[in-house]
């Protein structure tokens, strides 16, 4: 067994059975392609590397063959590899990913020029309507050249997707491997949430006691990230509003941070999302904030907590699907469902995800998705809960 086969599917099966042609051109970012190929394989993909002559100055065929477990294409010969991989054949590849892609390659593809292995792959992929994703990487002045930008727009209009670049240090740097892989997963998904705008509000709020101290709820933000990721991968236009969280934020999502409930409530009037999901552990009470910092020499501090507005009550609008979360501690299933149904009635939301805190762990959870009629038990990873919840939303 090739070492690449041992990695296949170790992170997920999202690209299981998918064949991806990885076109590598002569940007210095080509040195990152070994790990990019491996990351695609970890999600189940078969990867075929196609390397231009200029890219061969930066990466070797042996390295990419070791990375992918497949022969590397560095010349188009009598095997007509471009036809076998990307023409309308029964076993054609599912996607052409060009990463990194130089200004030279972008412009050649836009003009129909195919004088390299990678541009030849692109020419036939466009002609056979195969999906194409391009990850540009070059000096910033090259990327901002109006003629290059015109060629980028030409390719966008032809249905080619661009991911990145990241602008930093006068360079248009290649997007992160995470962002590129997520773009591939999204492009090859069933896209059942395409055209939907989804807002996920997660994390925990922090209500200030003084300039130094806060009171808060327990919450990692893990469920919110899992839901936002799943919605993105299924084609939705996703925004993630996140309070305090201990999990990293995905590089491919639009993330807006907030601290206290007071920071969040002014934003609610401007929401134009058709689906709003709120796994956030928002505070129900907050103290009157003291001036400065309360002295630590005091032997006793008394806090008076006042009720905060219920964010979930402000979210319901005609035509919008709203999902609330209800957490309880050490209750029976019947009691948990009863509490969820009380939330359904009091807040006029569409779904409530209810769980007992003892069943929530890092990476895994047990929950009940409660509808107006019936409920669904889900036990597994946070990702499995996220997709089950999105399925329920679509059923509405």
Say yes or no: 220 and 77 in one domain. Answer: no
Please report, to the nearest 10 degrees, the dihedral formed by the alpha carbons of residues 267, 268, 272, 277 taken in order.
110
Whether residue 74 contacts residue 115, with contact meaning beta carbons closer than 8 Å, is answered with no
SS (H, E, C) 61-92: HHHHHHHHCCCCECCCCCCCHHHHHHCCCCCC
pLDDT score recorded for residue 374: 86
Say yes or no: 262 and 294 in one domain. Answer: yes
The parent domain of residue 133 ranges over 3-187
pLDDT score recorded for residue 318: 65
Q: Which residues contact 330 (CB under 8 A, 6 or more apart)?
A: 356, 357, 358
pLDDT score recorded for residue 78: 67
Pairing of β 171-173 and β 166-168 = antiparallel
The CATH number of the domain where 62 resides is what?
3.40.50.1950
Query: pLDDT tens track of the chain, all 396 residues?
Result: 888 888 899 999 999 999 999 999 999 999 999 999 999 999 999 999 999 999 999 999 999 999 999 999 988 776 766 767 788 888 889 999 999 999 999 999 999 999 999 999 999 999 999 999 999 999 999 999 999 999 999 999 999 999 999 998 889 999 999 999 999 999 999 999 999 999 999 998 888 888 888 888 888 899 999 999 999 999 999 999 999 999 999 999 999 999 888 888 888 888 889 999 999 988 888 888 878 888 788 878 888 888 888 888 888 776 689 999 988 888 888 888 888 898 888 888 999 999 888 878 887 888 999 998 888 988 899 999 999 999 999 988
Q: Per the domain annotation, does 192 fall within a domain? A: no
Q: What are phi and psi of 168, to 5 degrees?
A: -165, 140
Say yes or no: 69 and 163 in one domain. Answer: yes
Q: Which residues contact 95 (CB under 8 A, 6 or more apart)?
A: 18, 20, 21, 130, 131, 132, 133, 184, 187, 188
pLDDT score recorded for residue 346: 83
Q: Tell me how many domains the chain contains.
A: 2
pTM across the whole model: 0.90
Say yes or no: 214 and 359 in one domain. Answer: yes
The CA-to-CA distance between both ends of the chain, in Å, stands at 46
Angstrom distances, CA of residue 16 to CA of 40, 183, 186, 391, 396: 10, 15, 14, 21, 29
pLDDT digits (tens, 9 = 90+) for 298-356: 878 888 888 888 888 888 776 689 999 988 888 888 888 888 898 888 888 999 999 88
DSSP class of residue 372?
Answer: S
117-127 and 103-110 helices, crossing angle to 10°: 40
Say yes or no: 179 and 224 in one domain. Answer: no
Distance in angstroms (rounded) separating the CA atoms of residues 88 and 294: 72
Angstrom distances, CA of residue 342 to CA of 299, 349, 353, 390: 41, 11, 12, 22
pLDDT score recorded for residue 2: 85
Q: Per the domain annotation, does 242 fall within a domain? A: yes
Q: Per the domain annotation, does 345 fall within a domain? A: yes
Angstrom distances, CA of residue 138 to CA of 67, 94, 103, 180, 270: 24, 27, 7, 16, 37
Q: Per the domain annotation, does 205 fall within a domain? A: yes
pLDDT score recorded for residue 83: 64
pLDDT score recorded for residue 14: 95
pLDDT digits (tens, 9 = 90+) for 147-185: 999 999 999 999 999 999 999 888 999 999 999 999 999
């Amino acid at each position: 067994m090739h070492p690449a086969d041992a990695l296949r599917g170790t992170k997920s099966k999202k690209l299981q059975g998918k064949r991806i042609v990885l076109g590598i051109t002569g940007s210095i970012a080509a040195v990152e392609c070994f790990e990019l190929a491996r990351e695609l394989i970890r999600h189940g993909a078969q990867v075929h590397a196609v390397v231009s002559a200029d890219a061969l100055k930066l990466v070797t065929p042996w390295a990419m063959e070791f990375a992918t477990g497949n022969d590397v294409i560095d010349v188009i010969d009598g095997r007509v590899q471009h036809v076998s991989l990307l023409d309308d054949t029964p076993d054609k590849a599912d996607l052409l990913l060009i990463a990194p892609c130089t200004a030279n390659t972008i412009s050649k593809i836009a003009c129909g020029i195919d004088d390299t292995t990678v541009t030849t792959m692109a020419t036939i992929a466009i002609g056979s309507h195969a999906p194409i994703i391009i990850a540009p990487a070059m000096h910033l002045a090259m990327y901002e050249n109006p003629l290059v930008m015109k060629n980028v727009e030409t390719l966008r209009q032809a249905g080619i997707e661009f991911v990145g670049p990241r602008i930093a240090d006068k360079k248009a740097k290649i997007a992160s491997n995470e962002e590129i892989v997520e773009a591939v997963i999204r492009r090859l998904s069933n896209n059942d949430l395409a055209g939907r705008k989804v807002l996920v509000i997660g994390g925990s709020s922090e209500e200030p006691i003084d300039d130094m101290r806060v009171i808060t709820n327990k919450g990692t933000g893990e469920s919110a990230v899992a839901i936002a990721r799943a919605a993105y991968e299924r084609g939705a236009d996703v925004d993630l509003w996140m309070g305090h969280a201990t999990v990293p934020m995905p590089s491919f999502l639009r993330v807006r941070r907030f601290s206290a409930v007071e920071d969040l409530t002014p934003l609610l009037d401007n929401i134009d999302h058709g689906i709003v999901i709120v796994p956030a552990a928002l505070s129900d009470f907050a103290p009157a904030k003291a001036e400065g910092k309360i002295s630590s020499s005091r032997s006793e501090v008394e806090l008076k907590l006042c009720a905060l507005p219920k964010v979930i009550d402000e979210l319901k609008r005609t035509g919008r699907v709203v999902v609330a979360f209800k957490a309880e501690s050490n209750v029976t299933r019947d009691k948990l469902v009863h509490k969820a149904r009380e939330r359904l009635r009091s807040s006029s939301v569409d779904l409530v995800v209810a769980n007992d805190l003892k069943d929530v762990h890092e990476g895994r959870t047990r929950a009940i998705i409660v509808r107006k009629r019936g409920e669904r038990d889900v036990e597994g990873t946070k990702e499995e809960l996220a997709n089950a919840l999105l399925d329920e939303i679509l059923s509405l």
